[in-house]
Structure formats: structure tokens, C-alpha cells
């Protein structure tokens, strides 16, 4: 009887997982940048919700994070 060892093979290489985690971190950073700007009093309007950070920087950061994660999924480490 042969004793065959079963080795667990991952879908991606180690570098793919590192790039994927970096992309997820960038996405989380974008959502953190997007938060805030509200007002505790519903009768008072706060203009901070329309500043550069929440309108331009945060969505761009999230899109860059999505691009990094897509790159991590499509990257072929054998080339």
C-alpha cells in the first residue's frame, strides 16, 4: 500500500495574497476618508460633507483599491 501525502495547494501565490491585502487596506482607507461630516443637530446643515476629501479623494482611493485587488487576482506569478 502506498502512503500518498496530500498537499494543500492554494489558488494564488504568496505575492498575490500580499497585493490583495494591500488593495483591501486601500479600500478601507477610502471608506474611512469618506466618513464623517455629519451634524449632531438635524436643523443645522454642515458644509463639510461636500469638501474635497469626501467628494474627490475618498472615491478615487476606493477605485484605486479596487484596481489593486483586480490586479492581484489577475496577476500570474509564473510569468
Tens digits of per-residue pLDDT, 18-72?
999 999 999 999 999 999 877 778 888 888 888 999 999 999 999 999 999 999 9
What Rg value do the Cα atoms of the chain yield, rounded?
A: 21
pLDDT band of residue 3 (cuts 50, 70, 90) is low
pLDDT at 1 over 60: no
pLDDT at 75 over 80: yes
Cα 38 from Cα 41, distance rounded (Å)? 9
> Positive or negative, the Cα torsion across 5, 9, 13, 18?
negative
DSSP assignment letter at 1: -
Amino acid at each position: 500500500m502506498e502512503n500518498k501525502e496530500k498537499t494543500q495547494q492554494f489558488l494564488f501565490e504568496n505575492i498575490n495574497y500580499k497585493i490583495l491585502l494591500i488593495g483591501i487596506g486601500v479600500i478601507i482607507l477610502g471608506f474611512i476618508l469618506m466618513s464623517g461630516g455629519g451634524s449632531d443637530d438635524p436643523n443645522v446643515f454642515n458644509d463639510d460633507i461636500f469638501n474635497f476629501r469626501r467628494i474627490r479623494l475618498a472615491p478615487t482611493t476606493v477605485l484605486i483599491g479596487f484596481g489593486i485587488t483586480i490586479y492581484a487576482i489577475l496577476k500570474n506569478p509564473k510569468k
